[in-house]
Amino acid sequence: MAQVRSSIADNFSITRGGPLHLLAARLGLAGDERRLVLRRALVVILIAWLPLLLLSLAHGLAWGRQIKIPFIRDFAINVRLLIAAPILILAESRIDRRWHTLVVEFLKSGLVGEKELPSFEAVIERTSRWRDGVLPEVFLALVAFFPSVFIVKTELLMSGFSNWHTLGTGGVSAAGWWFNLVSTPIFRFLLLRWILRMFLWTSFLWSVSRIKLFLVATHTDLAAGLGFLSEGQKAFSPIVFAGGAVIAAQVGNAIAYQGQSLSSLKFPMIAYGVLAVIFLVAPLLVVAPVLLQVKRRALLEYGAQVTIHNQLFDQKWVQQKEPAGETLLGNPDASSLADLGSSFTVVRQMGLVPIDKPTLIALAISAALPMLPVVLYATPTDELIRAILKMLG
Query: Per-residue pLDDT for the chain (393 aa), expressed as one digit of tens each?
Result: 556 788 899 999 999 988 998 888 888 888 777 888 999 999 999 999 999 999 999 988 888 877 888 999 999 999 999 999 999 999 999 999 999 999 999 999 999 999 999 999 999 999 999 999 999 999 999 999 988 876 655 444 445 577 888 876 667 889 999 999 999 999 999 999 999 999 999 999 999 999 999 999 989 899 999 999 998 899 999 999 999 999 999 999 989 888 888 888 889 899 999 999 999 999 999 999 999 999 999 888 877 777 776 677 667 666 666 655 545 455 555 455 456 667 778 888 899 999 999 999 999 999 999 999 998 888 776 666 676 666 665
Number of domains in the chain: 1
What pLDDT score does 340 carry?
67
* Domain presence at residue 9: yes
* Domain presence at residue 171: yes
What pLDDT score does 334 carry?
47
* Domain presence at residue 364: no
* Domain presence at residue 94: yes
What pLDDT score does 32 carry?
77
* Domain presence at residue 205: no
* Domain presence at residue 107: yes
Contacts of residue 81, defined as CB under 8 A and 6 or more positions apart, other chains included, come to 44, 45, 48, 49, 52, 183, 187
* Domain presence at residue 305: no
- 243 close to 84: Cβ distance less than 8 angstroms: yes
Closest Cα partner for 43 from 190, 152, 147, 162?
Answer: 190
CA 197 to chain centre: 10
What pLDDT score does 34 carry?
82
Burial 355-367 (b: 16+ CB within 10 A, else e): bbeebbebbbebb
* Domain presence at residue 309: no
Enclosing domain of residue 17: 1-114+142-187
